[in-house]
């Protein structure tokens, strides 16, 4: 059994309770971890708060060196960490090898960004004065992380929070806690005790106590809209800062000038990467009418070539979905749109030959419209609904017909198409001809129901710093505007 990480030590929950972690490809138990409760949250927050008293004043160059050390240790254990990610999360090993590298790169990036500046000097309003704008850490940051990219989305929160001078308590998903605990073992020990803490458990049992705790002024969360709303309400009671990335229902436009072979491959990958369990998956496709027949034919044909199987590989493109509940949610949505008149061209069923594991065939759906839940809600599964449109204006209008605004994609070599869509579509990230690619220096986050705040880039570290103005007069002398007032000055005379 793996244990939680509090104040530099691996510990059991105070209650002694545990829960099992399952392999979604085999439905077998991998390990068990502590089931944390409010009393464990109290311990972790107190440890993080005590560590913050020193960590906040640790010089930037020292924090920089420690974050680089974390990145090195992650890379040294890349294969071990990636394998564990695959066992508990179901993504193909080849994708998890990338996730481990991206996570290490994020720590390297913020190690450098965080020592670049800590504020600015502004012009004074009087002689012999100086004015400083100083960026300070908040204190203890709660990082609540989802199961689809457990380490990457953790690093996007933890690395900037630490470099800004905060300490953290991480609550990984109950589906995928093992890889985060392994990182605590192999990498986070490069940091002083209490700077990083990891609690394993369920949202209502330990996540909520962390959000409500008086010593956690910042909550960084990636997950569902429903949970994000709950966190926002709880945080508002104490006027806490929240950074919420709440998923999306991302549009994907394919224009009539696109190379169809390239467009099909890019669109299929955007739809089915990690079984569609990506917050920026292509979830609704808008294809120009003039190419729609050939595009759909190619999309279906290429989808049928994708290889499902053991995510440890080799020769596998898709693993299982994360859980039975997630698969059943997708099945119910497909049943609903079939009733509404949509047509499933391929997939839509559990594959033959898989007696265990939460596998599902990648699915292509046509005959959809904006009355259907596939086009209105986040699916988070391997389903690609395709809708035919007349032109770029209709595609943009439909793309904007949504409560979400996380990402959007377009495939085109027409500059007018690309920039018209980029300018008009409401989305935190807009990809032109390269779907779903992230850049550590480019801010990531949503609009509308997709949340608020930004991760990555300079904006990412600003989420974890608050601003102080320091006014300095280096000559102590009485000011003419102090008491007693001289009423003769400035008085209107006849």
Q: How far is CA 23 from CA 79, 310, 361, 442, 482, in A?
A: 18, 11, 19, 34, 72
Do residues 254 and 159 share a domain? no
pLDDT at 212: 98
Least confident of 115-119, 170-174, 390-394, 411-415: 115-119
Find the farthest-apart pair of alpha carbons in the chain and give their distance in angstroms, rounded: 101
The pLDDT value recorded for residue 492 is 54
Number of domains making up the chain: 2
Domain around 390: 250-432
Same-domain status, 268 and 392: yes
Q: Is 360 within the bounds of a domain?
A: yes
Within this chain, do residues 377 and 292 fall inside the same structural domain, yes or no?
Answer: yes
pTM, to two decimals: 0.96
pLDDT at residue 35 in the model: 98
pLDDT over 90 (residue 490) = no
| 343, 390: one domain | yes
The pLDDT > 90 percentage for the chain reads 97
Q: Mean pLDDT, the chain, as a whole number?
A: 97
**Same domain, yes or no, for 191 and 264?**
no
pLDDT value of residue 248: 96
Which tens digits make up the pLDDT trace of 351-366? 999 999 999 999 999 9
User: Which residue numbers are catalytic?
Assistant: 245, 279
What is the share, in percent, of the chain residues with pLDDT greater than 70? 99
Quickly state the pLDDT bin for 491 (edges 50, 70, 90).
Answer: low
Query: Is there a single domain that holds both residue 256 and residue 349?
Result: yes
The whole-angstrom separation of Cα 171 and Cα 378 is: 23
110 and 221 in a common domain = yes
| Residues 6+ away with beta carbon under 8 Å from 142 | 168, 169, 171, 210, 211, 213, 216, 218, 219, 220
301: domain CATH number?
3.40.309.10
219 and 84 share one domain: yes
57 and 96 share one domain? yes
Q: How far apart are the first and last CA of the chain?
A: 89
Residues 106 and 227 in one domain: yes
Of residues 116 and 477, the one with the higher pLDDT is 477
481 in any annotated domain: no
- The answer to whether residues 255 and 241 belong to one domain is no
């Amino acid at each position: 059994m793996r244990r939680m990480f509090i104040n530099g030590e691996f510990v059991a929950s105070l209650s002694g309770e545990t829960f099992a972690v399952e392999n979604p490809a085999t439905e077998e138990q991998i390990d068990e971890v502590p089931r944390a409760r409010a009393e464990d949250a109290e311990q972790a927050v107190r440890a993080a708060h005590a560590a913050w008293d020193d960590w906040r004043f640790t010089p930037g160059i020292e924090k920089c060196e420690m974050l680089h050390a974390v990145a090195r240790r992650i890379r040294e254990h890349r294969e071990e960490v990636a394998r564990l990610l695959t066992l508990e999360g179901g993504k193909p090993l080849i994708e998890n090898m990338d996730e481990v590298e991206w996570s290490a790169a994020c720590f390297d990036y913020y190690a450098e960004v965080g020592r670049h500046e800590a504020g600015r000097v502004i012009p004074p309003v009087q002689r012999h004065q100086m004015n400083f704008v100083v960026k300070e850490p908040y204190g203890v940051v709660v990082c609540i992380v989802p199961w689809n990219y457990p380490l990457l989305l953790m690093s996007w929160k933890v690395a900037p929070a630490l470099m800004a001078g905060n300490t953290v308590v991480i609550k990984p998903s109950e589906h995928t806690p093992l890889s985060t605990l392994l990182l605590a073992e192999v990498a986070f020990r490069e940091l002083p005790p209490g700077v990083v803490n990891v609690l394993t458990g369920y949202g209502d049992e330990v996540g909520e106590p962390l959000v409500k705790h008086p010593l956690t002024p910042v909550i960084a969360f990636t997950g569902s809209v429903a949970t994000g709303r709950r966190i926002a309400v709880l945080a508002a009671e104490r006027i806490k800062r929240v950074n919420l990335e709440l998923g999306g229902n991302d549009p994907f436009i394919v224009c009539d000038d696109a190379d169809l072979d390239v467009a099909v491959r890019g669109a299929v990958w955007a739809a089915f990467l990690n079984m569609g369990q990506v917050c920026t998956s292509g979830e609704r496709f808008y294809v120009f009418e003039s190419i729609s027949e050939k595009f759909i034919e190619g999309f279906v044909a290429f989808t049928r070539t994708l290889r499902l199987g053991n995510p440890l590989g080799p020769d596998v493109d898709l693993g299982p979905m994360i859980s039975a509940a997630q698969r059943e949610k997708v099945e119910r949505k497909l049943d609903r749109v079939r009733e509404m008149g949509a047509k499933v061209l391929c997939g839509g069923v559990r594959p033959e030959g898989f007696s265990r594991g939460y596998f599902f065939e990648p699915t292509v759906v046509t005959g959809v419209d904006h009355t259907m839940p596939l086009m209105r809600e986040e699916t988070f599964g391997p389903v690609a609904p395709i809708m035919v449109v007349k032109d770029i204006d209709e595609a943009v209008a439909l793309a904007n017909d949504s409560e979400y605004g996380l990402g959007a994609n377009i495939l085109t070599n027409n500059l007018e198409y690309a920039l018209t869509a980029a300018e008009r579509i409401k989305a935190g990230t807009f990809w032109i001809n390269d779907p779903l690619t992230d850049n550590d220096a480019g801010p990531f986050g949503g609009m509308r129901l997709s949340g608020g705040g930004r991760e990555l880039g300079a904006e990412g570290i600003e989420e974890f710093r608050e601003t102080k103005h320091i006014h300095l007069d280096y000559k102590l002398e009485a000011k003419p505007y102090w008491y007693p007032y001289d009423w003769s000055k400035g008085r209107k005379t006849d």
